[in-house]
């Protein structure tokens, strides 16, 4: 366990999201594993992050990249053994790195023993562990999430000759959370890992735990009861551990998942992410300030999880039709880049390999209210491969150096779980950790610097935010404040140089200290504070009274 | 670039804040607080519905209002649109305002709008009259769309008019610009129109903006610039035209602002218009021509009297302007009884062309030349009213078309006069 016992550690953390399969292959079988991940922990420590979010590593048929779990109490043999995981966890904790793991509560794989038993006969004791129906008519108001692949939320089981409920792929039957035995069993699963020392869970697909007729089967009160029950047990038996909600919802619908500080500690702010990309393309702060204005206050102990990209498509569920069309036109003109209601691309290709825009977006990620999560490989500007199907194009092996398999594995290239990115712009020969480590001006070095700055003060994780709304709408400016500390953040969303006048009169008398270089800027007076900014430039200023 | 000293520091700061735009809507105002709000709503709705992604600004150029007009414009929020039909823009919809002077001036207002459009690199611009109670969102969109989406350079409006409204337009401005420049733009002198950034910059940098010309309306010259510079021109139907302050002007002033400007513009564009031998229709969105024929009481008798008096009183002036044959015919006409009076098309067209040629040659003060045309116009107006008193809209349209053809037929006559062969 990391030394700091701060119960609110997640508020000031910088997370790194990684799939064990993709990071480093220690045994040359073409697939990353826990021993490999453990070997790369120094890299993560040096990057400056202090929490790792592990994607699913359980035994699974891997039809949904591990989100189809076949056994909750073990490790997929491709990734190592349970002991390997324990060793990795201990090594991470030694380096003061917290480990948060994925936990898919909503559904299992259809290969899970529970489902196999459940479908074996209608009177099996586990029959009621899943949601069965003689017809496919119940819960018609529930939307279909994977609209590109699924026609219905019901699937026919030829064995027990009934339909079973699934909100995601048909090979992922939903567990029945109306059954107390299921709830007890899942808590028992969580305890299994908590006892080992994991620092928290990212709970997948939480809005869908409960179904009720005539509703959307999302965000139901009964779902919150299940979560409150889990949280109470966690606080009682494992204080200091954390629950992170994956709930792709509007801010007002997300807010209940924090409860009164008695449900989730953290939740992803899904609607903000596409609006950051939209604001950048529109060169207008409007989408960002509007969604943050709609974002309700959350309890002091809670935190938003912010991200630019992750293992899924850049989801456009939480935008309007007009905004979605604009995003497609701007970021995915090639229709193969589109998947479901989203865009399956990594950060660097989305931003056309433009270092200034990548830095600006990371600057906003690190300075807006919430805990930033960096997706593996984005710290070096890795590319993607839409030809791999589904969302696999953003899940390719980590690019460590320019040698054999990009330093990821000693296996034959043909036996890698996915091929490496090989194109001249984003390929591992051009984009890799080793070459970027050698340059203090590389994206990797810049990210290290950025993360250090972010972690240099708890203000970013816990402070308030006040938007300044300068008349120049291309500039997004805000003051983060905590106690008598204040940081002014000014972002130029435009591709051209801008002049902006900021009303800083309430900070009159303070001087500005630019945080990256430490240089002084003029003292704030009565007049509007004039700044000139280069294309996509941003500033972080400490406001100091000296 | 033209001298930009007309733009105040405060206005420059506003332009800096707005930055580059795709769409610019100019609203020239002077004490329009009571009427401007519906026009602003229509502009906002037009942008929200048709250009929700584009960078847009509403620019108020105010001529010294003391009734709070700029405050009305700046205070108009688009939140109402969101409530009424869930309309919104992806970007900030800007509204900025500047006072170009303490007295209204069409030239100063347009110059301010053009200068701002150039500095903001606006792709499509339109000017909307603040008195346009009838302007609708669709109209605003229809003005801008051809510029922004179809690469036109100039969009002129078409209004539904009463058959006796805009007689100067139907009897001189339209037929003469059509005959000379070869394109059938129905409303060459409009208070609402749209233009490309390219045309705007061209006009800004070419037009005479000096003090001497500050009282002249430049709109007709902008149309002429578009027609003579090979720009892509189209028209769009905007519905019924609201009464404007312009219409309340006295006739002499109206002639200066229109006929004077047209005559003046012919000098610099001779090379272009002299080669045109016929006219072509321009692409039009909506009906090309729409007249209403509601009964309207007009004092015709006074017109005829003013014509006769003018021809007699201005004989010495007219001698310098007109050919002897034309003057003689007009003098005969001045003696005619009211029921026999008919200022026929050929005589009217010849008179106008002779005035244009004399204006070109500056046979006397150009302003006097324009003023001397006023009584003749009144005579022609009398005949137009009589001829069309009971005419249907279609018949009036046919008569106007016939006059247009007369202007086209007699164009060689103008060329001869122009070149001094007559």
Q: Which of A285, A323, A472 sits opposite B17 (nearest CB)?
A: A472
Determine contact, residues A330/A279, Cβ cutoff 8 Å: no
**The pairing of beta strand B124-127 with beta strand B23-29:** parallel
- Between B422 and A17, the higher pLDDT residue: A17
- Indicate the DSSP class of residue A174: B
- Nearest chain B residue to A279 by CA: give it: B91
Q: Is A473 on the interface with B (CB under 8 A)?
A: yes
Tell me: the pLDDT tens digits for A197-254? 999 999 999 999 999 999 999 999 999 999 999 999 999 999 999 999 998 888 888 8
- Nearest chain A residue to B51 by CA: give it: A322
Q: CA A87, A89, A94, A98: dihedral to nearest 10 degrees?
A: 170
Please judge whether A287 and B13 are an interchain contact, meaning their C-beta atoms are less than 8 angstroms apart.
Answer: no
pLDDT score of A301:
95
Q: How far is A530 from chain B (nearest CA, A)?
A: 11
Can you tell me the distance from the alpha carbon of A174 to that of A112, in angstroms, rounded to the nearest whole number?
A: 12
Please judge whether B91 and A498 are an interchain contact, meaning their C-beta atoms are less than 8 angstroms apart.
Answer: no
Question: What would the DSSP string read from start to end of A75-112?
Answer: --GGG--HHHHHHHHHHHHHTT-EEEEEEE-SB--TTS
Can you tell me the distance from the alpha carbon of B422 to that of B420, in angstroms, rounded to the nearest whole number?
A: 5
Question: What would the DSSP string read from start to end of B189-240?
Answer: S-SSEEEEHHHHHHHHHHS--SGGGTTS--HHHHHHHHHHTT--EEEEEEEE
pLDDT score of B348:
97
- Residue spans of alpha helices (H) in B75-218: 79-85, 106-119, 137-150, 167-168, 174-181, 197-206
Q: Which residues of B touch A501 (CB under 8 A)?
A: 13
Determine contact, residues B373/B354, Cβ cutoff 8 Å: no
The CA-CA-CA angle for residues A46, A51, A57, to 5°, reads 110
A284 is catalytic: no
Give long-range contacts, CB 8 A cutoff, 24+ apart: A119-123: A119/A157, A119/A159, A119/A160, A119/A164, A120/A159, A120/A160, A121/A160, A122/A160, A122/A162
Q: Is B9 on the interface with A (CB under 8 A)?
A: no
pLDDT score of A2:
65
pLDDT score of B82:
76
Which of A32, A18, A26, A22 is closest to A78 using CA atoms?
A32
Mutation choice for A interface testing from B14, B17, B79 by most A CBs within 10 A = B17
For B44, what's the count of Cα atoms within 13 Å in the CB-facing half-sphere?
24
Q: Given A246, A312, A359, A379, which residue is catalytic? A: A246
Mutation choice for B interface testing from A471, A496, A527, A533 by most B CBs within 10 A = A471
Question: Is the complex ipTM more than 0.95?
Answer: no
Q: Is B312 on the interface with A (CB under 8 A)?
A: no
Question: What would the DSSP string read from start to end of B57-70?
Answer: EEEEEES--SS-HH
Residues of chain A with pLDDT under 50: none
Q: Which of B13, B55, B90 sits opposite A287 (nearest CB)?
A: B90
Q: Which residues of A touch B19 (CB under 8 A)?
A: 283, 472-474, 494, 496, 498
A134 is catalytic: no
pLDDT score of B422:
57
Q: Is A326 on the interface with B (CB under 8 A)?
A: yes
Can you tell me the distance from the alpha carbon of B106 to that of B167, in angstroms, rounded to the nearest whole number?
A: 22
Please judge whether B19 and A496 are an interchain contact, meaning their C-beta atoms are less than 8 angstroms apart.
Answer: yes
Q: Is B17 on the interface with A (CB under 8 A)?
A: yes
Mutation choice for A interface testing from B15, B56, B90 by most A CBs within 10 A = B90
pLDDT score of B227:
95
Q: How far is A352 from chain B (nearest CA, A)?
A: 21
Q: CA B167, B170, B176, B177: dihedral to nearest 10 degrees?
A: 110
Please judge whether A322 and B90 are an interchain contact, meaning their C-beta atoms are less than 8 angstroms apart.
Answer: yes
Which of A374, A385, A382 is closest to A432 using CA atoms?
A382
In percent, the amount of chain A with pLDDT more than 90 equals 90
Tell me: the pLDDT tens digits for B82-140? 777 778 899 999 999 999 988 899 999 999 999 999 999 999 999 998 877 678 999 99
Q: Given A33, A204, A218, A359, which residue is catalytic? A: A204
Determine contact, residues B19/B55, Cβ cutoff 8 Å: yes
Determine contact, residues B115/B6, Cβ cutoff 8 Å: yes
Please judge whether A501 and B13 are an interchain contact, meaning their C-beta atoms are less than 8 angstroms apart.
Answer: yes
- Indicate the DSSP class of residue A221: H
pLDDT score of A211:
96
Q: Is A327 on the interface with B (CB under 8 A)?
A: no
- Indicate the DSSP class of residue B8: -
Helix (H, G, I), strand (E, B) or coil at A51: strand
Can you tell me the distance from the alpha carbon of A288 to that of A292, in angstroms, rounded to the nearest whole number?
A: 6
Q: Over chain B, what is the mean pLDDT?
A: 90
- Nearest chain B residue to A326 by CA: give it: B53
Determine contact, residues B52/B88, Cβ cutoff 8 Å: yes
Please judge whether A472 and B19 are an interchain contact, meaning their C-beta atoms are less than 8 angstroms apart.
Answer: yes
Q: Is A274 on the interface with B (CB under 8 A)?
A: no
pLDDT score of B2:
43
- Indicate the DSSP class of residue B112: H
The position carrying tokens 């350079």 is B153
* Partners of residue A54 on adjacent β-strands: A18, A101
Q: How far is B5 from chain A (nearest CA, A)?
A: 20
- Between B247 and B331, the higher pLDDT residue: B331
Q: CA A103, A104, A109, A111: dihedral to nearest 10 degrees?
A: 30
Please judge whether A322 and B52 are an interchain contact, meaning their C-beta atoms are less than 8 angstroms apart.
Answer: yes
The position carrying tokens 């865009």 is A343
Tell me: the pLDDT tens digits for B217-263? 889 999 999 999 989 999 999 988 766 666 556 888 889 889 999 99
Q: What is the mean pLDDT of residues B194-222?
A: 85
Give Cα B311 distance to the centre of its chain. 28
Q: Which residues of B touch A471 (CB under 8 A)?
A: 13-14, 17
Q: What is the largest CA-CA distance in chain A?
A: 78
Please judge whether A326 and B20 are an interchain contact, meaning their C-beta atoms are less than 8 angstroms apart.
Answer: no
The position carrying tokens 């929700």 is B52
pLDDT score of B3:
46
- Nearest chain B residue to A324 by CA: give it: B90
Distances (CA, A) of A516 to A147, A466, A538, B225, B315: 45, 22, 10, 54, 84
Residue B126 φ then ψ, to 5°: -140, 155
Tell me: the pLDDT tens digits for B142-177? 999 999 999 999 999 999 888 888 899 999 999 999
């Amino acid at each position: 366990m990391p030394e700091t016992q701060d119960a609110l550690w997640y508020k000031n953390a910088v997370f790194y999201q990684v799939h064990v399969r993709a990071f480093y292959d220690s045994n040359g079988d073409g697939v990353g594993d826990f021993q490999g991940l453990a070997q790369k922990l120094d890299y993560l420590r040096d990057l400056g992050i202090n929490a790792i979010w592990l994607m699913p590593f359980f035994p699974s048929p891997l039809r949904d990249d591990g989100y189809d779990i076949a056994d909750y109490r073990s490790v997929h043999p491709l990734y190592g053994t349970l002991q390997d995981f324990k060793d990795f966890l201990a090594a991470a904790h030694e380096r003061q790195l917290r480990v948060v793991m994925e936990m898919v509560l909503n559904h299992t794989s259809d290969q899970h023993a529970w489902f196999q038993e459940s479908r074996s006969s209608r009177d099996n004791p586990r029959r009621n562990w899943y949601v069965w129906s003689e017809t496919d008519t119940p819960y018609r108001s529930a939307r279909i999430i994977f609209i590109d692949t699924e026609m219905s939320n019901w699937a026919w089981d030829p064995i027990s000759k009934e339909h079973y409920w699934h909100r995601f792929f048909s090979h992922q039957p939903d567990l029945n959370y109306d059954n107390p035995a299921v709830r007890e069993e899942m808590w028992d699963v969580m305890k299994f890992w908590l006892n080992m020392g994991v620092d928290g869970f990212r709970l997948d697909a939480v809005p869908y735990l409960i179904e009720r007729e005539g509703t959307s089967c999302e965000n139901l009160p009964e779902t919150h009861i299940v979560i409150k029950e889990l949280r109470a047990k966690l606080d009682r038996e494992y204080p200091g551990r954390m629950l992170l909600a994956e709930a792709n919802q509007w801010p007002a619908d997300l807010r209940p998942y924090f409860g009164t500080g008695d449900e989730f500690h953290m939740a992803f702010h899904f609607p903000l992410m596409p609006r950051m990309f939209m604001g950048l393309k529109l060169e207008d702060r409007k989408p960002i300030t509007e969604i943050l204005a709609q974002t309700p206050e959350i309890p002091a102990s809670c935190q938003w999880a912010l991200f630019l990209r992750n293992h899924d498509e850049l989801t456009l569920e939480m935008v309007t039709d007009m905004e979605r069309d604009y995003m497609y036109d701007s970021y995915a003109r090639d229709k193969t880049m589109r998947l479901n209601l989203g865009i399956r691309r990594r950060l660097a290709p989305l931003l056309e390999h433009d270092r200034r825009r990548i830095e600006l977006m990371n600057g906003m990620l690190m300075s807006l209210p919430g805990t930033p999560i960096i997706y593996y490989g984005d710290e070096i500007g890795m590319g993607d491969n839409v030809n791999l199907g589904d969302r696999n194009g953003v899940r390719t092996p980590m690019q460590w150096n320019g040698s054999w398999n990009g330093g990821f594995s000693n296996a034959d290239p043909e036996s890698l779980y996915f091929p490496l990115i090989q194109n001249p712009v984003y390929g591992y020969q051009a984009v890799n950790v080793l070459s970027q480590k050698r340059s203090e001006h590389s994206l990797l070095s810049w990210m290290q610097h950025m993360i250090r700055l972010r972690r240099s003060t708890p203000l970013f994780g816990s402070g308030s935010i006040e938007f300044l709304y300068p008349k120049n709408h291309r500039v997004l400016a805000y003051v983060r404040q905590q106690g008598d500390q204040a940081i002014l953040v000014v972002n130029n969303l435009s591709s051209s140089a801008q002049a902006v006048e900021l009303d800083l009169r309430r900070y009159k008398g303070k001087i500005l200290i630019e945080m990256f270089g430490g240089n002084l800027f003029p003292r704030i007076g009565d007049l509007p504070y004039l700044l000139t900014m280069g294309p996509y430039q941003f500033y972080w200023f400490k406001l100091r009274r000296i | 670039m033209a001298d930009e000293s007309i733009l105040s520091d405060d206005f420059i700061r506003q332009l800096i804040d707005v930055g580059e735009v795709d769409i610019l809507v100019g609203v020239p105002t002077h004490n329009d607080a009571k009427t401007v709000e519906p026009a602003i709503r229509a502009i906002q709705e037009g942008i929200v519905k048709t250009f929700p992604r584009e960078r847009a600004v509403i620019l108020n150029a105010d001529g010294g209002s003391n009734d709070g007009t700029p405050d009305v414009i700046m205070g108009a929020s688009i939140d109402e649109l969101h409530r009424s039909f869930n309309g919104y823009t992806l970007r900030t919809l800007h509204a900025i305002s500047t006072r170009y002077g303490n007295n209204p001036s069409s030239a100063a207002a347009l110059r301010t709008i053009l200068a701002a459009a150039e500095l903001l690199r606006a792709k499509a611009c339109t000017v909307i009259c603040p008195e346009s109670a009838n302007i609708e969102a669709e109209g605003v969109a229809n003005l801008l769309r051809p510029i922004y989406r179809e690469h036109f350079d100039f969009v002129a409006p078409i209004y539904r008019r009463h058959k006796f409204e805009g007689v100067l337009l139907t009897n001189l401005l339209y037929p003469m610009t059509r005959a000379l420049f070869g394109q059938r733009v129905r409303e060459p002198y409009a208070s609402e129109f749209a233009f490309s950034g390219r045309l705007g910059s061209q006009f800004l940098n070419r037009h005479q903006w000096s003090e001497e010309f500050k009282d002249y309306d430049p709109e007709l010259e902008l149309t002429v610039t578009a027609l003579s510079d090979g720009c892509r021109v189209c028209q769009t139907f905007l519905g019924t035209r609201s009464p404007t302050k312009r219409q309340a002007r006295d006739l002499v002033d109206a002639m200066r602002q229109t006929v004077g400007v047209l005559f003046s513009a012919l000098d610099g564009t001779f090379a272009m218009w002299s080669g045109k031998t016929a006219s072509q229709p321009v692409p039009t969105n909506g009906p090309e021509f729409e007249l209403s024929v509601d009964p309207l009481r007009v004092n015709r008798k006074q017109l005829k009297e003013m014509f006769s008096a003018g021809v007699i009183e201005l004989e010495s002036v007219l001698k310098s302007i007109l050919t002897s044959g034309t003057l003689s015919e007009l003098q005969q006409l001045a003696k005619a009884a009211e029921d026999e009076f008919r200022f026929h098309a050929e005589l009217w067209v010849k008179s106008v062309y002779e005035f244009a040629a004399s204006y070109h040659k500056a046979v006397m003060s150009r302003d006097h030349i324009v003023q001397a045309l006023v009584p003749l116009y009144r005579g022609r107006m009398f005949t137009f009213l009589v001829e069309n008193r009971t005419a249907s809209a279609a018949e009036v349209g046919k008569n106007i078309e016939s006059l247009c053809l007369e202007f086209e037929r007699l164009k060689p006559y103008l060329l001869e006069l122009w070149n001094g062969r007559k």
